Structure 1
Amino acid sequence: MKQEIAFIQSEELKVKPKADSLGFGKYYSDYMFVMDYHSEKGWYEPRITPYEQLILDPAAMVFHYGQAIFEGLKAYKTADGTIQLFRPEKNMKRFNESCDRLCIPQIDENFLLKAIKELILIEKDWIPEGDGTSLYIRPFIFATEPYLGVRPSHQYKLLVILSPVGAYYGDQLSPVKIYVEEQYVRAVIGGVGHVKTAGNYAASMKAQEVAEAKGFAQILWLDAKENKYVEEVGSMNIFFKIKGEVVTPKLNGSILSGVTRDSVIQLLKHWNIPVREEKISIEEVFAAHERGDLEEVFGSGTAAVISPVGELNWNDRSIEINHQKIGQLSQRVYDEITGIQLGKKEDPFNWIIKVAQV
Structure 2
Amino acid sequence: MTFVPDSDLRRLTPQVLGALVRRYGHFDTAEDAVQEALLAAATRWPSEGVPDDPRGWLIAVGARKLTDLLRAEQARRRREDRVARWEPPPRVTDGTPADDTLILLYLCCHPALPPVSQVALTLRAVGGLTTTEIARAFLVQESAMTRRITRAKATIKQSGLPFAAPAAAERPDRLTSVLHVLYLIFTEGYAATTGPALHRVELSAEAIRLARMVFQLLPEDGEVAGLLALMLLTDARRDARTASDGTPVPMAEQDRTRWDAAAIAEGIALITAALPRGPVGPYQLQAAIAALHDEAPTYDATDWPQITLLYEQLLARTDNPVIALNHAVAVAMSRGPRQGLDLLDKLRSDPRLAQDHRLHAARAHLLNLLGDPEAARAAFGRAATLTTNLPLQRYLRAQATA
Shorter-chain TM band: 0.3 to 0.5
**Bigger RCO of structures 1 and 2 (CA < 8 A, at least 6 apart):** 1
Larger Cα Rg: Structure 1 or Structure 2?
Answer: 2
TM-score normalised by L of structure 2: 0.30
More helix by share: 2
TM-score by length of 1: 0.33
More strand by share: 1
